Amino acid sequence: MKLTILGSSSALPTSERYPSAHVLSVHERLYLIDCGEGTQMQLRRNKIRFGKINHIFISHIHGDHVFGLYGLLSTMNLMGRSTTLNIYAPSKYREILFSHLLDFDIILGFNIDFVALDSGDPVKILDDKHLTVTSFPLRHRIPSYGFLFREKAADRNIVKEAIEKFSIPVARIPAIKKGEDFILENGEVIRNDEITVAGPVPSSYAYCSDTMYFKRLSSFVRNVDLLYHEATFEAGLGELARITGHSTSTDAARTAFEAGAGTLIIGHFSSRHKDVQPLVREARSIFPRTIAAVDGTTYDVGNIDVP
Amino acid sequence: MKLTILGSSSALPTSERYPSAHVLSVHERLYLIDCGEGTQMQLRRNKIRFGKINHIFISHIHGDHVFGLYGLLSTMNLMGRSTTLNIYAPSKYREILFSHLLDFDIILGFNIDFVALDSGDPVKILDDKHLTVTSFPLRHRIPSYGFLFREKAADRNIVKEAIEKFSIPVARIPAIKKGEDFILENGEVIRNDEITVAGPVPSSYAYCSDTMYFKRLSSFVRNVDLLYHEATFEAGLGELARITGHSTSTDAARTAFEAGAGTLIIGHFSSRHKDVQPLVREARSIFPRTIAAVDGTTYDVGNIDVP
């Protein structure tokens, strides 16, 4: 599971930070989370293939999380896309999206399967070969949702030498990778753990933006390996954070701590914070494994270096 | 008059070319022409101040010319803008724009003065201290307009030494700059051309995108100093250009030649043309003073170097 952060600014982009957009890569499949203005340019700059994106998750209907979607859809269309695209977004956005495409005479050559988010509780919204995705409610000025991506346990890896030694037929390999023992022609049972080793440990990633702090949030992202949490403001601006429905550095750290997260990445920084290192230091006072998001950086979700 | 090209791609942006957006700077006032996705980031990257933009001209309602407008307006709003913003766009866009801002709960703290373009003939749409702007119809798949910016003749410059020599009072200087003679106390007349020199020569710039070739277009941009004209396709793709309502390199050159333009900049290149130098060579076979647009470059409108 690899995470590439394409944008980590809040509403006002800066010369270093684009508006919100993340790409999660799981076994060569790409999951786009939020789609701020310029997402398609950031995808190109990071050499990420548009055609591999089949799922787009939109947290809420504020421009800095959505204004790149029209251009991206239009580009996918011009590139000849025919595969269905799944868009998960607050229910209100369905009509806005389709009527705006119509305003621009954009006739898509592919279907959009729109999944409306409107629950006050966690909901499993995707379950495919490699992962499950759960949406959960955040607390912002308008309906806003977070997303939890949990990789499924991978198959065990078969030991190459064992195939030769026991003349294991190719047809048996998938079952053995799932954990079955292998029985020789003479009836002898070769135990699975003699011929396989454990596959890679599954990882998990959660995206929480935009939201103010609330106690229940940590229960939605319990034990996640990597938590991205907005930290629009420094710790001293708690009042402003509450009024605007955002979090401070220490709010984000508190949720990471209460959730028992592995690592915390903070982002969605207000443009007033030219240097975000003070916010990282504040967060580390509560949750030491904290780093700041950097646009254009790819993170190995299960294995992050914290200086 | 300085022109900065922020984007010169056609519908599919590339890693080197953003969608259409130009900024014309005339005596410290900025005029934005088209506003493709990412315009606000390109403005920041080129250190162009948002607050100095009071006029935005939209050629037509295709996404690659407009999708950056919502983000730009939202950013101007967050930066506390209060000055009226003038937007000139095809009439159909008025409702689309305002209803989309409403969809996103964007309540602007400044007025938008929307000027609807809908004439089949050239119309003077702006006349301020330093320039006039005329819109004129183009021929594209949907209503599309070009814009001609003509700088007004500048005041004459007073010769410093003359002020001292003839003891010219400060209060008289504005009239003298406009061409008045100066009369000494003894009644002697000092002719204006003895105490002033001509001001800078006024420049003119025209923007033609998107359009197919048509004979009458050259009459709209007669004798313009700098003509930006789309050249989506190479000369051999004339049939494709006609079907899609676009121009080839030689179409653009023909209009520049027929108009008696000073210099031609071609742009709006199809992403199929990785190298646009062949298009420049094709255009130069008809109109030698042709160059290719480069994103992030600023051109002195009246004084362009053609290699």
Mean pLDDT of chain B: 96
A287 touches A253 (CB < 8 A): yes
pLDDT exceeds 90 at position B41: yes
Judge if A93 and A184 occupy the same domain: no
Nearest by CB to A37, from B13, B37, B79: name it.
B37
Which chain A residues touch B11 with a CB distance below 8 Å?
74-75, 78
- At A124, which CATH number? 3.60.15.10
pLDDT exceeds 90 at position B200: no
* Inter-chain touch A64–B71, beta carbons under 8 Å: yes
Please check whether residue A64 touches B, CB under 8 A. yes
Judge if B37 and B137 occupy the same domain: yes
What integer pLDDT is reported at residue B15 of this predicted model? 87
Q: What number is the average pLDDT over the span B262-280?
A: 97
**Domain end residue (candidates: A166, A197, A228):** A197
pLDDT digit string (tens) for B115-138? 999 999 999 999 999 999 999 999
Q: Cα–Cα distances in Å, from B292 out to A12, A179, B237, B264, B283?
A: 32, 62, 18, 8, 10
Judge if B36 and B94 occupy the same domain: yes
Nearest by CB to B104, from A15, A62, A70: name it.
A62
Which chain B residues touch A74 with a CB distance below 8 Å?
11, 63-64
Specify the residue for token string 């920041």: B44
What integer pLDDT is reported at residue A15 of this predicted model? 87
Judge if B71 and B161 occupy the same domain: no
- pLDDT category at B105 given cuts 50, 70, 90 is confident
CB proximity list for B164: less than 8 A, separation 6 or greater:
none
Q: How far apart are CA B286 and CA B294, in angstroms?
A: 21
Domain membership of residue B15 as a residue range: 2-154+200-300
- String of b and e for B6-43 (b: at least 16 CB within 10 Å)? bbbbbbbbbeebbbbbbbbbbeeebbbbbbbbbbbbbb
Please check whether residue B143 touches A, CB under 8 A. no
Q: Cα–Cα distances in Å, from B115 out to B62, B135, B153?
A: 18, 11, 26
Judge if B76 and B168 occupy the same domain: no
A269 touches A279 (CB < 8 A): yes
Residue A40 maps to a domain: yes
Q: What number is the average pLDDT over the span B136-159?
A: 96
Q: How far apart are CA B256 and CA B224, in angstroms?
A: 9
pLDDT exceeds 90 at position A278: yes
Judge if B270 and B175 occupy the same domain: no
Q: What number is the average pLDDT over the span B183-199?
A: 94
Residue A305 maps to a domain: no
Mean pLDDT of chain A: 96
CB proximity list for B305: less than 8 A, separation 6 or greater:
none
Residue A306 maps to a domain: no
A/B interface, count of CB pairs below 8 Å: 88
Nearest by CB to A38, from B37, B75, B106: name it.
B37
What integer pLDDT is reported at residue B175 of this predicted model? 95
Please check whether residue A274 touches B, CB under 8 A. no
Judge if A174 and A40 occupy the same domain: no
pLDDT exceeds 90 at position A68: yes
Residue A7 maps to a domain: yes
Judge if B76 and B133 occupy the same domain: yes
Which chain B residues touch A142 with a CB distance below 8 Å?
105
What integer pLDDT is reported at residue A154 of this predicted model? 87
Nearest by CB to B63, from A14, A61, A104: name it.
A104
Judge if A161 and A22 occupy the same domain: no
pLDDT exceeds 90 at position B212: yes
Surface of B (31-50) touching A: CB under 8 A = 37-38, 40-41, 44-45
Judge if B173 and B269 occupy the same domain: no
pLDDT exceeds 90 at position A46: yes
Q: How far apart are CA B278 and CA B284, in angstroms?
A: 10
Please check whether residue B142 touches A, CB under 8 A. yes
| Of the listed ranges A115-119, A283-287, B104-108, B252-256, the one predicted with least confidence | B104-108
Residues of chain A with pLDDT > 90: what percent?
96
pLDDT digit string (tens) for B215-232? 999 999 999 999 999 999
Please check whether residue B90 touches A, CB under 8 A. no
**Domain end residue (candidates: B146, B180, B197):** B197
Which chain A residues touch B12 with a CB distance below 8 Å?
75, 78-79
Specify the residue for token string 């939020």: A34
Count of structural domains, chain A? 2
Judge if A46 and A175 occupy the same domain: no
Which chain B residues touch A13 with a CB distance below 8 Å?
40-41, 44, 71, 75
Judge if A137 and A273 occupy the same domain: yes
